[in-house]
Amino acid sequence: MSTLLLEAERVKSYYHTREGTVKAVDDVSLDVENGIILGLAGESGCGKSTLMNTLMMKIRPPLYLVDGEIIVDGERISKMERKEIKKKIWGVKISLVPQSALNALMPTKRIIDFIRDVVKFHVDVSDGEIVSMARKRFEELNLPEDSLYLYPHELSGGMKQRAVIAISTLLNPKLLIVDEPTSALDVSTQKRVLKLLLDLKKFKIIDSIVFVTHDIAVLRQIADRLVIMYAGKIVESGTLEDVLSNPKHPYTAGLIHAVITPEPEIRKRGLVSIPGEPPNLINPPSGCRFHPRCLHAMPICKKVVPELVDISNGRKVSCHLVKA
């Protein structure tokens, strides 16, 4: 029987700005099962990073959790105090490697100093124990132990990314969220980062991964399940194979078409095969948010927000064209 490591129920998180309310995550429900790698994809600005920060309860103004529940390994963190979440949840049950992780390390601290701070916050251990723990982990993951004594600027981009991932998982969190971990890297360095993530799972350091990217081609190499987001909402989810071989939502179909298209220029630019622009999330389109760009839009699509419905065995689609 599979258990759920993370459950998000009808989550809404909005940025309150002077220009208006940005509905960046709008009524999103999502489960992450124990043991899986879940890939989350969607165009730039669709709310992927906002959703990940929200799932972690890393919420600071102008972002607000407007509605919904978030449960991590049985604990309802959406109701917890920030202090408690910091101590009991972050790094211990769930870790996030944020999109800007390459700049996250303090330039004045060596990797080992950074590790010391992270570990000491959670567990009462000596400096010596921390060093041997870090060395053991770096060795296990095939990362050069010498890099522990270097400053961030002395590491290459790929090595820095791998070091950040290793640090984030030192305390064996059950779930690791990585937000665009490979986007700034060349293809061979990307492969090393993917291998590291797979090793973390293989060695049972972590149980599950949520991998966020705008690049479906990367998810093809690593994900078990896919979730597709558009304009603050999930439009489709299912096993990698089902979604890729038989996309049900016109947006997903466009997204996949862009990846498999033989023309390298189109492939590189990703989503250009879908005409039009993603909407402004301060004032998103009525009904289905994709309707202004959808080649199959019907009158109902303008009026009624489609629900994300289970069409078979955990395969979910939010589209008026699809009957449950």
State which of positions 21-60 bind Mg ion (CB under 5 A).
Answer: 48-49
* Cα distance between residue 28 and residue 232, in whole Å: 8
Q: Helix, strand, coil proportions of the chain in percent (round to 5)?
A: 40, 25, 35
* Amino acid sitting at position 323: K
First to last CA, the chain: 25
Per CB under 6 A, the list member of 32, 46, 176, 218 interacting with ligand ATP is 46
- Residue 47 binding ligand ATP, by CB under 6 A: yes
* Cα distance between residue 321 and residue 298, in whole Å: 8
- 137 three-class SS: helix
Instruction: Give residue for tokens 């009462």.
Output: 124
Contact pattern from residue 55 through residue 74 relative to ligand ATP, giving x for each residue in contact according to CB under 6 A and a dash for the rest: -------x------------
Nearest distance in Å: CB 254, ligand ATP: 16
- Residue 99 binding Mg ion, by CB under 5 A: yes
Per CB under 6 A, the list member of 39, 41, 50, 289 interacting with ligand ATP is 50
Nearest distance in Å: CB 314, ligand ATP: 23
- Residue 54 binding ligand ATP, by CB under 6 A: no
State which of positions 95-114 bind ligand ATP (CB under 6 A).
Answer: 99
* Cα distance between residue 166 and residue 295, in whole Å: 44
177/301 with CB nearer Mg ion: 177
15 binds, among ligand ATP, Mg ion, none (CB under 5 to 8 A by kind): ligand ATP
17/221 with CB nearer ligand ATP: 17
State which of positions 135-194 bind ligand ATP (CB under 6 A).
Answer: none
Kindly state the DSSP code that residue 109 receives in the 8-state scheme.
S
Query: Please, are residues 60 and 139 in contact by the beta-carbon 8 Å criterion?
Result: no
- 65 three-class SS: strand
Cis peptide before 285 (omega within 30 of 0): no
* Cβ neighbours for 45, distance < 8 A, ≥ 6 positions apart: 278, 281
Nearest distance in Å: CB 318, ligand ATP: 17
50/78 with CB nearer ligand ATP: 50
The interface region with ligand ATP, picked from 47-55, 75-83, 129-137, 284-292 by CB under 6 A, is 47-55
Please give the angle made by the CA atoms of 101, 128 and 94, to the nearest 5 degrees. 35
- Residue 182 binding Mg ion, by CB under 5 A: no
Interacting residues with ligand ATP (CB under 6 A): 15, 17, 22, 24, 42, 44-50, 62, 99, 214, 281
Binding site for Mg ion (CB under 5 A): 48-49, 99
